[in-house]
């Protein structure tokens, strides 16, 4: 067994003990999962030129969908969840960027769906092929009862987000579990927003029987693991599905999870994953403790609900234009965009508040303000439920934080660093090692929301997972059992 705290501590970076690592290009992981010889189903073309506002969608006020679920709608949800957005050419070929951010552009995530009641799509389990925009049928037959989630609505359609460890471990080695969880959160947020934009309510679960889901999707749990299930409920009036078992899996599908000829299995990743590989009931400890960072707050600001500006991009434009931008201009950020971003983080629709509150509340959110109009520089904590921002300490800390982020000094010019923190000991006490997933997936989700919000407002944004962990913790004054999990820098950028 390995607790969340042990895994986090043992994969911390320390500037005095960094091990040099050369990438093994001969075993560079394949970026796309393929199923050689399998028939594929092309997805219909969908033009996404809708003008919905990200803020409206995030608040769950999008127009409701008309009619039953169809293949066109599934194609739109998938396109909004993840799509190729930009192509870079280099001497050895091309590289495609995506609408989701990913640490090191390694893209460990995969997306699957199980259809029970979708017009023009036979019931069964499918893998989403991003590069070719197609579905690969993995099983045909009834799947409604096979999502691995014990409670929740009867599904018409379920989505599964998984990660392939080696894609990230190739570069980040033992630390890669952190990145794959954050990356999965980024993709999940796009998926949840896509569902909301279609007027669909998704029931999110991080708690399911991993083996059952892996069996359903044909995953080899040594290489690829499921992290989230999102169920779209069947209408109450729909006939109940028969109890037949799903059809058989094509024989060698688990091998498709292998992405390089010689993969290295990192023991801390395997142990940390297996330690959280169970369903943990709530109630072992008070969930509020996971937000206790050992800091005191003083002055608080209320967060206004901000109305959209004329220049703001729509959600679909922001998805297409989202990129990581590092050329921050050392400029003061106006109050309106900062509060607009805080408002976006606070907009939690019922989708984010499932029966179990753990997913929304497993990570503390802060802001290191460097240069924002009306907000003196300092460290602040955000309380999304009561829409308040409370000051922890005063003073300019973004330069020191840039140094704590592996000396990525361009971060010092960003107006604000959003921070995702947790009390790791409390996380373990509350939910066991699986709690690490809740905190990291939550941080990734809000990170993606910030990327989209910043893009919509014409600002630059970049997620940062590279930290000298203890240095960052001490800089913020967090207690020894707390840690900074992720940072997302936002500010004006040059040349826009
Ligand atoms: C979890 C996570 C951690 C990241 N860490 C860093 C980082 O430490 N430094 C950095 O420059 N970019 C970082 N990035 C940004 C990625 O490098 C970037 O998303 C990737 O190269 C793809 O480019 P794009 O975001 O422009 O599409 C991170 C992104 C994510 C999602």
Could you read off the pLDDT of 240-280 as tens digits, one per residue?
665 566 777 766 677 788 899 999 999 999 999 999 987 66
Rounded CA-CA distance 459/205 in Å is 32
Q: Which sign, positive or negative, has the C-alpha torsion 14, 20, 25, 26?
A: negative
Q: Identify which of 153, 127, 122 has the alpha carbon closest to the alpha carbon of residue 138.
A: 127
Q: Which of ligand 1's atoms lies nearest the C-alpha of 462? A: 15
Rounded CA-CA distance 447/469 in Å is: 18
**CA pair distance 441, 434, nearest whole angstrom:** 11
Q: Do domains 23-275 and 287-491 have the same CATH topology?
A: yes
Mutation test residue for ligand 1: of 87, 99, 104, 469, the one with most atoms within 8 Å of CB? 104
> Is domain 23-275 classified as CATH 3.40.109.10?
yes
Query: Which pLDDT value is given to residue 355?
Result: 45
Task: Decide whether any atom of ligand 1 lies within 6 Å of the 401 Cβ.
Answer: no
- Ligand 1 centre distance from Cα of residue 95 (Å): 15
Q: State yes or no: pLDDT of 234 exceeds 50.
A: yes
As a whole number of angstroms, the distance between CA 441 and CA 181 comes to 6
* Of 162 and 59, the one with more pLDDT: 162
Query: How remote is the CA of residue 323 from the centroid of ligand 1, in Å?
Result: 9
Q: Is 463 in the pocket of ligand 1 (CB under 6 A)?
A: yes
Residue 350: per-residue pLDDT: 41
Establish whether residue 105 lines the binding site of ligand 1, counting it when its CB lies within 6 angstroms of any ligand atom.
yes
Q: Is the CB of 466 under 6 A from ligand 1?
A: yes
Nearest CA to ligand 1 atom 29: 103
Does ligand 1 lie within 6 Å of residue 334's CB atom?
Answer: no
Query: What share of the chain has pLDDT > 90, as a percent?
Result: 71
Q: At what angle do helices 71-81 and 176-197 cross, to 10 degrees?
A: 140
Return the ligand 1 atom nearest residue 323 CA: 26
Indicate the DSSP class of residue 162. E
CA 283 to centroid of ligand 1, rounded, Å: 35
Q: Using CA atoms, how far apart are residues 350 and 354, in angstroms rounded to an integer?
A: 7
CA–CA–CA angle 91, 93, 96 (5° rounding): 125
Check residues 251 and 100 and name the one with the higher pLDDT: 100
Residue 279 has a pLDDT of 63
Q: Is residue 144 scored above 70 in pLDDT?
A: no
Q: What is the residue-averaged pLDDT of the chain? A: 90
Is residue 287 lining ligand 1, measured as CB closer than 6 Å?
no
**In the block, residue with structure tokens 């947020």:** 189
Whether 182 is in the pocket of ligand 1, judged by its Cβ within 6 Å, is: yes
Position 493 pLDDT exceeds 50: yes
Least confident of 425-434, 452-461, 481-490: 425-434
pLDDT at 153: 76
| CATH architecture, domain defined by 287-491 | 3-Layer(aba) Sandwich (3.40)
47 near 187, Cβ under 8 Å? no
Rg for the chain, CA atoms, rounded: 22
462 Cβ closer than 6 Å to some ligand 1 atom:
yes
> What is the tally of helices (H) and strands (E) in the chain?
14, 16
> Looking at ligand 1, which residue's alpha carbon is closest to its atom 20?
105
Mean pLDDT to the nearest integer, 293-312: 87
Give, using CA atoms, the residue closest to atom 7 of ligand 1. 464
Smallest CA separation from ligand 1 atom 30, residue: 103
**103 Cα to the center of ligand 1, angstroms:** 4
Closest of 243, 312, 355, 327 to residue 453, by C-alpha: 312
- Ranges of each domain in the chain: 23-275, 287-491
């Amino acid at each position: 067994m390995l607790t969340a705290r042990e895994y986090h501590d043992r994969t911390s970076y320390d500037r005095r003990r960094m091990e040099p690592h050369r990438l093994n290009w001969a075993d560079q992981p394949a970026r796309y999962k393929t199923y050689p010889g399998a028939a594929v189903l092309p997805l219909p073309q969908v033009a996404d030129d809708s003008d919905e506002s990200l803020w409206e969608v995030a608040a769950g006020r999008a127009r409701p969908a008309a009619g039953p679920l169809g293949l066109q709608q599934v194609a739109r949800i998938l396109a909004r969840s993840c799509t190729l957005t930009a192509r870079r050419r280099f001497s050895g070929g091309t590289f495609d960027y995506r609408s989701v951010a990913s640490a090191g552009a390694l893209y460990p995530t995969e997306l699957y769906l199980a259809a029970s009641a979708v017009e023009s799509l036979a019931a069964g389990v499918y893998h989403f092929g991003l590069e070719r925009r197609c579905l690969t049928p993995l099983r045909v037959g009834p799947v409604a009862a096979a999502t691995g989630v014990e409670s929740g609505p009867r599904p018409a359609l379920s989505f599964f987000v998984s990660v392939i460890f080696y894609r990230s471990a190739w570069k980040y080695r033992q630390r890669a579990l952190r990145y794959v969880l954050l990356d999965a959160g980024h993709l999940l947020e796009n998926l949840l927003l896509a569902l909301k934009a279609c007027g669909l309510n998704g029931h999110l679960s991080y708690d399911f029987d991993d083996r059952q889901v892996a069996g359903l999707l044909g995953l080899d749990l040594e290489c690829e693991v499921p992290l989230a299930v999102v169920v779209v409920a069947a209408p109450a009036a729909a006939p109940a599905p028969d109890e037949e078992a799903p059809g058989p899996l094509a024989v060698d599908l688990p091998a498709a999870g292998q992405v390089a000829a010689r993969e290295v299995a990192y023991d801390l990743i395997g142990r940390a994953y297996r330690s959280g590989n169970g369903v943990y009931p709530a109630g072992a400890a008070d969930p509020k403790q996971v937000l206790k960072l050992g800091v005191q707050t003083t002055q608080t600001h209320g967060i206004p609900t901000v109305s959209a500006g004329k220049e703001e991009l729509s959600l679909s434009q922001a998805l297409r234009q989202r990129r990581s931008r590092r050329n921050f201009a050392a400029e003061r950020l106006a109050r309106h965009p900062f509060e607009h971003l805080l408002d976006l983080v606070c907009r939690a629709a019922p989708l984010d508040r499932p029966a179990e509150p753990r997913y929304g509340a497993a990570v503390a959110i802060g802001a290191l303000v460097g240069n924002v109009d009306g907000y003196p520089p300092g460290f602040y904590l955000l309380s999304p439920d009561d829409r308040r921002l409370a000051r922890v300490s005063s003073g300019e800390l973004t330069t020191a934080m840039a140094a704590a982020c592996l000396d990525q000094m361009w971060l010092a010019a960003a107006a604000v660093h959003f921070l995702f923190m947790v009390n790791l000991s409390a996380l373990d006490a509350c939910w066991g090692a699986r709690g690490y997933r809740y905190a990291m997936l939550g941080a990734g989700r809000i990170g993606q929301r910030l990327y989209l919000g910043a893009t919509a407002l014409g600002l630059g944004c970049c997620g940062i997972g590279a930290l000298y962990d203890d240095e960052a913790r001490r800089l913020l004054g967090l207690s020894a059992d707390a840690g900074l999990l992720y940072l997302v820098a936002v500010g004006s950028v040059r040349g826009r």
